[in-house]
Structure 1
Amino acid sequence: MPKPKDEFDGLYPCDFYTAEELFEPGEMYTVYEIGRLLQGLDPESELEPDTEAVLLDWAIPWVVANSEDLVVGNPVAEDQPGYYGLKREDDRRD
């Protein structure tokens, strides 16, 4: 249910990292790792499933919003997610 803005103690800008700020050049990340990075966590941090689900809710729209700056790599196995990384001029295009 929506709430009036005046019910909140404070309102803050909805700023997110750019892909260049978030990713290390030459590295590829899953959406789960991206969710952790967006919260300032190590991409390999262990999280409770409920926490991971919330972070995934942040990561997916971030990937969509930053898609022009990203490349996608296929999952290493059928039951695993794909990978995302910074787009570079020398990246292979198939």
Structure 2
Amino acid sequence: MPIDRESADDLRSLEFRDPEEVLDPDKLYTVYEIGRLLQGLDPEEELDVETENVLLDWAIPWMMNHSEQFVFAEPTDDTDPGYYGLAQ
């Protein structure tokens, strides 16, 4: 449901960063870690499932939009996620 603009305490511009602004070029990350980094969180921070899902909702389209800037590494185990990093 929409809210009145005046009821918002903090209005900020919507900014999307490029992958090289978010990721270390020498590391590979899971999509979960990338979601955290996009929000300025530590990539290893523990989050509840609902928050993790919201971060994934942001991270996946961002990664798809920048897909040409990523490389992919297979997961270390069949139950683990894959790893993504900057294409160099």
TM-score range, shorter chain: 0.7 to 0.9
* Residue matched to 2:51: 51
Q: Distance in 1 between matches of 2:78 and 2:19?
A: 26
Count of equivalent residues: 85
TM-score w.r.t. the length of structure 1 is: 0.80
Corresponding letter in the other structure for 1:31: V
* Residue matched to 1:8: 5
The gaps in structure 1 that reach 5 residues or longer are: 89-94
Q: Distance in 2 between matches of 1:53 and 1:22?
A: 19
* Residue matched to 1:84: 84
- Show structure 1 runs of 4+ deviating over 2 A: 6-14
The gaps in structure 2 that reach 5 residues or longer are: none
Q: Distance in 2 between matches of 1:83 and 1:8?
A: 40
Q: Distance in 2 between matches of 1:48 and 1:28?
A: 23
Q: Distance in 1 between matches of 2:5 and 2:78?
A: 43
**1:75: Cα distance to partner?**
1.1
For the aligned residues, what is the CA RMSD? 1.7
